[in-house]
Structure 1
């Protein structure tokens, strides 16, 4: 039984969705960032956190990789060219989409007001549009890597929803249809009802 610490409104949704996809049992602690529950397992107070026995893992991408390798699900075999491509895609999504959205969030409400540069958001929106267009060109089937759902699909789908909530432009027809397919999955639908 895993413990997932972090509310669904954070990157914890990625971990919860992964666990639902693979059918692994978990306990959900819907903690906000810097809450007592989050700070008890991660001194930074960041979420998500995954507790597996006495081990606590932090960072959604690291947790997803750990779970996929441990359960042999939503991943290609380590050391294969397919896994190399999967890892490239995951890092591309993290760097070029998640990173852009996080920077926009920081300059919208995370940083102290006197440290925010609201004008940077126009550049970030331009960068987001450019980066998702490149990802749309990489779609090889129903999923980023063809016929198999992998970790980059979870992260990209989450980011596309985040972008919409943050007021970014739509990602174009191909990625809008992709997001709809991904969010229609039973595991995702179950997770969006959590706190």
Structure 2
């Protein structure tokens, strides 16, 4: 039942753009509307569950920033990235921006629903200690902090600011792709160019 409701929620958001109607979700999922509230609490809980399906993607991408054992520069982008710390860091940043972009592309309809619905925004503010877009900053900042402690990024790096730079760049690329579709690539610099521009802040 949960899987059917989550699938129907994504379909409704994709079809209607912004409106989050539990009646329509229940109809598509073939369940009673009351069961949605029983299992998810309210509409924000439902959206939170949908986002939760994509958190493994977010976690896998963010883990790229984790500290590595000395001498291990990661897979990077060929032999140069494995032997050159700067090239390895650039490859990591490129992978993080690209991966986080994919995460945000998937949840963009949910962000749109939150922005357009005053009731959902009020719930979000009330529960901000447990849910909200700021929660994405914490794990990325924590990994940057660990990487700084391991000497893998600049010692004076502000991990919170670094996390905001990476997530902000990924979010903006995702927003363009969500609004413009394939044409977005005409207006967007490649993820690698974004990472190279950000590189001096991290190395």
Higher share of residues assigned helix: 2
Rg (Cα) greater in structure: 2
TM-score, shorter chain, exceeding 0.5? no
TM-score range, shorter chain: 0.3 to 0.5
Question: How high is the TM-score relative to the length of structure 1?
Answer: 0.35
